[in-house]
Structure 1
């Protein structure tokens, strides 16, 4: 009787993030840990890394050094892969600082190896916003010194030609920055682009600003001249502009006045009339940050409805490139009921890649103490918030899902907690409301991380296991706790060096990131396909 060559044979699916088949060390909490390949470790670190930020188990400095070292390794071994990855990291994953640092370290590694090709293109590809040429230069000067190599200068100059315009100068050229637009121009010497005849005048004016030369704004720069005229209006007369709402909207738009600059211009609070003049030209981030301010100022319902319509538009959400967590943050900041449905719609549009999985799915959400850590020191959202959002979104779309919050039984911040809690999914419940019920119901547990114990407790005939975690468990081997025939998908939210299970083959796969993109890999893997890098 044939054991292998049967009608039911299926090719084993493989995925991009690869680790060893056997443990080679320990996680930070002491469980068996699996080393990843340098590319895999770099990928998981980059998609969860806000450069310079401390994490629960790793200081910001140590984390940044590890990131730079991994970029150097990947650049030396496969520069084409690294170039594609860094471009994707900035443009599709929409992670800014990690991409800029990665591009600078790519160029450094190429020069260190005696190579210069590709560096110019990589540097240019990650610069997508007009403040970023100065940001990358500031990083280079602080890290590698004042000798800026030609490929870096040329890549920055290419980006300057694309990015520098009057609106960019108004928004991003600030005395608060050590490297200003004029410094970038002095260091990289970009030529004005052929299809922007006004750019030469813009460059001249940016240099005048930087070097405090009191020259007249060139006639070609209509926006900057309009702004200067607006700034010349006496403070006592400025609020009169808003007596005519249509004129106020046009005047502020023509002068490229953001809500921050208007607040400084008025030298006082923004009332409803001011917000209503600003709202039509505000971007996605500005709108999300100010929903509460709109309510407190008394913005009219009909104007708020235009904001809600934008938030409910799939095309607008796609163009905004906001991470899903932004919508949870905005939801928690507001008290008015008029934004709830719009933010729910926005979050759903940002999670379109979450698949509808057949059969039974066990979803384990790590809410241990190490997941109670903010992504950045200035933020309020924590890694366990992201885990809950993604876990509940997946659970809502599965045919039959068991969603569990797990940690380890013990004491945390003066209270005793269970090792795990099963969350009651309600099919018609909006996702944002479910996340808040998770929070208010005590499903953010804290304490230790017994992932293998959670698997043993809750796995009961499920067709797959999905774990959202930082992978830093104590106790037993997580991969071994799941039977070999059951697929295990790990969603990594921290990017530490070692994982809790093997990955890449044999029904063991690891993804990562702060968007829904990697969810598309699960159906591919279950169909027997290779789930390659997303770039």
Structure 2
């Protein structure tokens, strides 16, 4: 099915304002849903809801094409590497859609970990306000079918690793959906799940947890024991990439040997390991900030490895040759200094800087900078992506805290500079704090008269549901999300297309 996303829902845009009470343009339901979904951090267990965002997503699902909602869920899970919100899309769409296999197909594409089976059911009973003993009675047939197929994706280790004592247990799910084993070996695993005889999986957490229960004679003995344990874990090769990222401080503090630190750094910077890890870019930044000020002898080695890892992660980003001129502008306004979730230290600000510097590293003819009250060009070397982000972070106060994005374009106009692409990494809440007649939309429209072939790309990092400019004309594109995968969408865009056409290509 082909959707004409930009042609429908011609709303009266003249009365729309953003959160700064500045003129804005509405988005279609599908576009607003896309932006809201890929910029949402819901708690993994669903039990602490961001009610405002969740309610808006629920409302937009009802207004959107069901096939698009299904494809968006698959895109969010498999390309943007999001876990919670795709399950929300599954359950909410199942409430209002029935009749064919769309929901079951959607589930088989979305479920990638064994615990997502139970998380989906936990959200299902909460979203449908099920109470009493049989909270999951009368389960949707299409959800049941999709989960039954999903059970056959996992082996004993994966079931054992995620066999947790949650609101819904894997055994409960097994009894509920009645999966048909694909062979005798799979049936044996199902039997073990029922009888609670799954083999306890080896994990680095259990190893360290057991060591933490031991009473040591003194601190020196304890430190020696943890050093030995970390070295054993590193040698085992069984620590996952994300676990390693999150434990770099602990490993440095354990004072492991140089040969073991070399193994850690080699793994961190290995191109294949980086690709397989599917880490969101800001995870590398969080790890970098955690260790950069530590006074250990191998800290510099770890920082170099993290830079190498980020460079490896950016290799698949299709940059532009020396003949393609690019302006990259990062929003460092006050509204960007908002955490992506209540328990996170990562801010929208961090994500914007990280994505901006990733893109900058791949462009040959590029000018980069940041904007708030003012627009300031701050060109950086291509090699040190994390160090560049850190440098921007230290200098954000130099431009103030408004969202005068129009100044990026006004600078081009005043210098009569013709460029091919202008990219803004922002929450798109543009406003003019000098209250002159200049607006972002007016500035771009004027620039197009001197640079008719220029294209504007707004990377929406917040998903509030409006745009500072009409994305239906004048070569304006809105792309949303926190992953480096947004650059795949950028590369796929052509005239008259939108980011939603990229999602629509997904096969169910």
Question: Which TM bucket (shorter chain)?
Answer: 0.7 to 0.9
Q: 1:288 aligns with which of 245, 251, 254?
A: 245
Q: Tell me which residue corresponds to 1:327.
A: 284
For the residue of structure 1 that corresponds to 2:369, the secondary structure is: strand
Gaps of 5+ in 1: 1-13, 54-58, 210-216, 228-255, 409-418
Q: 1:347 aligns with which of 288, 310, 316?
A: 310
Tell me by how many angstroms 1:203 deviates: 2.7
Q: Tell me which residue corresponds to 2:231.
A: 276
Greater relative contact order structure (CA < 8 Å, 6+ sep): 1
Cα distance between partner residues in 2 of 1:30 and 1:380: 28
Q: Tell me which residue corresponds to 1:45.
A: 36
For the residue of structure 1 that corresponds to 2:376, the secondary structure is: strand
Q: Tell me which residue corresponds to 1:533.
A: 502
Task: Confirm or deny that 1:88 pairs with 2:82.
Answer: no
For the residue of structure 2 that corresponds to 1:465, the secondary structure is: strand
For the residue of structure 2 that corresponds to 1:404, the secondary structure is: strand
Cα distance between partner residues in 2 of 1:519 and 1:170: 36
Give CA deviations for 1:509-534 in whole Å, capped at 9, x if unaligned.
11111122332454555789877314
Q: Tell me which residue corresponds to 1:180.
A: 169
TM-score, L = length of structure 1: 0.78
Task: Confirm or deny that 1:70 pairs with 2:60.
Answer: yes
CA contact (8 A) 1:20 1:503 kept: no
Cα distance between partner residues in 1 of 2:4 and 2:252: 47
Q: How many aligned residue pairs are there?
A: 454
For the residue of structure 2 that corresponds to 1:271, the secondary structure is: helix
CA contact (8 A) 2:35 2:465 kept: no
Q: Tell me which residue corresponds to 2:108.
A: 124
CA contact (8 A) 1:16 1:533 kept: no
Q: 2:23 aligns with which of 23, 26, 32?
A: 32
CA contact (8 A) 2:370 2:376 kept: yes
Q: Tell me which residue corresponds to 2:210.
A: 265
For the residue of structure 2 that corresponds to 1:108, the secondary structure is: helix
CA contact (8 A) 1:361 1:462 kept: no
Tell me by how many angstroms 1:191 deviates: 2.5
Q: Tell me which residue corresponds to 2:370.
A: 405
Q: Tell me which residue corresponds to 1:470.
A: 427
Cα gap change, 1:184 to 1:522, in 2 (>3 Å): closer
Q: Tell me which residue corresponds to 1:242.
A: none
TM-score, L = length of structure 2: 0.82
Q: Tell me which residue corresponds to 1:412.
A: none
Q: Tell me which residue corresponds to 2:270.
A: 313
CA-based RMSD: 2.7
Gaps of 5+ in 2: 215-221, 433-437
Give CA deviations for 1:212-236 in whole Å, capped at 9, x if unaligned.
xxxxx4xxx6xx1xx4xxxxxxxxx
Give CA deviations for 1:454-504 in whole Å, capped at 9, x if unaligned.
432455314132111011122353122122223211011011111111114
Task: Confirm or deny that 1:421 pairs with 2:376.
Answer: yes
